[in-house]
Chains A and B, each alone.
Chain A
Amino acid sequence: MSSFFTSRLFFISLALVIIAATLPLYVSGYVLGLLTVAFYFGVFAMAWDLLFGFAGEVNFGPTFLIGVGAYAAGILNAQFGWSVYLCIVLGALASVVAGLVLALPALRVRGPYFGLTTLVAVLMLQNFIVVFADLTGGEIGLTIPDVISINAGTNYWIALGFMTISAAILYGLSQSPVGLVLQASGQDPVQAGALGFNIVKHKLAAFIVSAFFSGLSGALLVFYFGTASVGTVVDVAVGVNVIVSAVLGGRRTVLGAALGAIFLIVAGEFLRPTGELATFIVSAVALLVVLFFPGGFLGAALSREARS
């Protein structure tokens, strides 16, 4: 852990954050808005990587956790008029509770079964949002009266700060003894269990941490957008983006997941002139990375550093 502060990765991350922090001084509001969304997605991807990369469980339902946080915060603000910051905190807590409810049955099963249970959670949440349209706004979406700020620079700095702090915590956690146990249980659950570690307890903890950051990020995103809709925070397609980000950036690296998310969002925007083919091209690039550089961006860079 202490070696991290002298590693090249740390200095590169630090430099990137400093450069990113100065962007509002010379970049247009449009670019800032794009990056703001990308940073929140970065947290989604890092939270997902903590569970997947380290505990070896494919969670197909990142948007269940994101969506619960986003909608809980949005509904409390829109229907009850509670203040923004209280709503954000409660949104994150709602996500933790939802994560617990999901984790209890889901962690009993492994592999594809776990994947399916989490996928079903997303489909159920979608159905409930549509069925309880009076409360949730249904298919049209929920309009949120309050926002954190209308200033693009402020929103950007909040998102950047939030992502940086989340990255520090999640990365620290992944390198801590708890992270190592998770990693071991992901690779060989039987042996890790035989060493006396309570795997289920560790995974449950990872799930809850993942849920907390996903929900917090989802709630913040809602107060940035000023709206919550199935298409932006719950849809399976959003979950696919989160998963692809983490694999693209490099699984088990946490920081790579954020890089992957930023790349995915920015690349999607750059490819907008290609019209409907944008998603095709992004998916094709992601598939090529999966096939030829399975370590992802950061995985490839780190292994080169290790070799030299």
Chain B
Amino acid sequence: MRAFQILIDGFAISALYALGATGFTLIFGVSGVLNLSHGAIMVAAAVAAWAAASILNVGTYAGALIGVGVALLTAFTTYFAVVKPIQDSRRIPNEEKEIFVLTGTLLWGIMIQELIAYFFTNNAKTVLPIVDGVVEILGVRTPRNEIFTAIVCCLVIALLWLLVNRTRTGKAVLAASMNPRGVTLLGLELTNIYIVVWAIYGILAGIAGVLLGMFLGVSSYSVGPLTASAFSIVVLGGLGSVSGSLIAAFVVGYLETLTAYLLSPAYRTIPALLLLVFVMYIRPQGLLGRR
């Protein structure tokens, strides 16, 4: 029964990690950008959903939508106000652009975090769940919200897979990740592809943020740990590899759940970090990474 509980809890948290990391890895895969404001965008989505539902009383569905909308807007702002100016800058040498994008998005993430703390305090906020109540599966009492979270995460990832592999836009995105120069030779505007990718990213981060807000709750303190966990999952899976980060998300999610149940919640993150160092040592490019 306990094993079954670990199985269910682990699945829900892993699915959420997977969704949270997918957008992050997509942007890296396509444009080589590591967006360190990732955690801030997720928290912004959750706090917006919380504020809309709890302060403005718009209802849980509209609240969730507003949360995703805020994430989308923030993602666009990140791209147009921070990432693109750095990429287009003539004063920054090309080989240093990566480092400037890291620093720029890091600062931008701190700005968002501080604004959230200023307007909504540092207190943890739990977004009102869309479904509530508890169901009993094989003797394990599980919140419906947890099952809902897992299902939505899987659905969204499946939809993303269809979008990337089965649509024209998706194929352009895929092509841009393989050969940006080739794509421009085909007459496609790279900037347009990046805008599409950032839009997809914003929606993914928004959904992940809102679900996280419903499932575990967030505060402005979650920003750093969320970015760090997305970063670790993505590197463990192999930078730019979406399937790699899915596997990594489940490895990390289950490892954390197992540690929390079998040892102590205080040690929760340590085994996953050790594993990460170990993988870096024997396979620096990550599980499914290209070098």
Give me the interface of A with B, judged by CB distance under 8 Å.
52, 56, 58, 105-106, 108-109, 111-113, 115-117, 119-120, 123-124, 127, 130-131, 187-188, 236-237, 240, 243-244, 247, 275-277, 279-280, 283-284, 286-287, 290-291, 294-295
Contact = CB atoms under 8 A, between A and B. Distances in A.
B34 interface: yes
A106 B232 CA distance: 14
B235 A112 contact: yes
Contacts of A280: 110-111, 114-115, 118
Contact of A123 (B92, B108, B269, B281): B269
16 contacts: A112-B34, A113-B280, A120-B273, A123-B228, A130-B266, A240-B106, A240-B110, A275-B118, A276-B117, A276-B118, A277-B118, A280-B110, A283-B107, A283-B110, A287-B111, A291-B86
B122 to A, nearest CB: 9
B115 A290 contact: no
Interface stretch (B93-101, B191-199, B208-216, B241-249): B93-101
A236 B224 contact: yes
Contact of A111 (B98, B117, B276): B98
A106 B281 CA distance: 8
A131 B280 CA distance: 24
A115 B102 contact: yes
A290 B104 CA distance: 7
Contact of B82 (A115, A119, A236, A291): A291
Contact of A105 (B267, B274, B280): B280
B231 A283 contact: no
A115 B100 CA distance: 13
B269 to A, nearest CB: 6
Interface in B122-137: none
Chain B facing A: main interface SS: helix
B273 A127 contact: yes
A111 B239 CA distance: 11
Contact of A284 (B95, B111, B273): B111
Contacts of B92: 294
Given A116-B235, A119-B231, A131-B270, A294 B100 contact: yes
Nearest to B121: A276
B232 A116 contact: yes
Contacts of A276: 114, 117-118
Given A287-B108, A287-B111, A124 B284 contact: no
A56 B98 CA distance: 11
Contact of B110 (A56, A58, A247, A279): A279
Contacts of A244: 103, 107
B41 to A, nearest CB: 16
Contacts of A237: 224
B85 interface: yes
B277 interface: yes
A95 to B, nearest CB: 19
Interface string B69-85: 00000000000001001
A29 B96 CA distance: 41
B184 interface: no
B89 interface: yes
Contacts of A294: 89, 91-92, 96, 100
A293 to B, nearest CB: 8
Nearest to A235: B224
B273 A290 contact: no
Contacts of A112: 34, 98, 102, 235, 239
B280 A287 contact: no
Contacts of B235: 112-113, 116
Given A109-B280, A116-B276, A117-B280, 15 more contacts: A105-B277, A109-B284, A112-B235, A113-B235, A116-B231, A119-B228, A120-B232, A131-B270, A187-B95, A236-B228, A276-B117, A280-B110, A280-B118, A283-B107, A291-B86
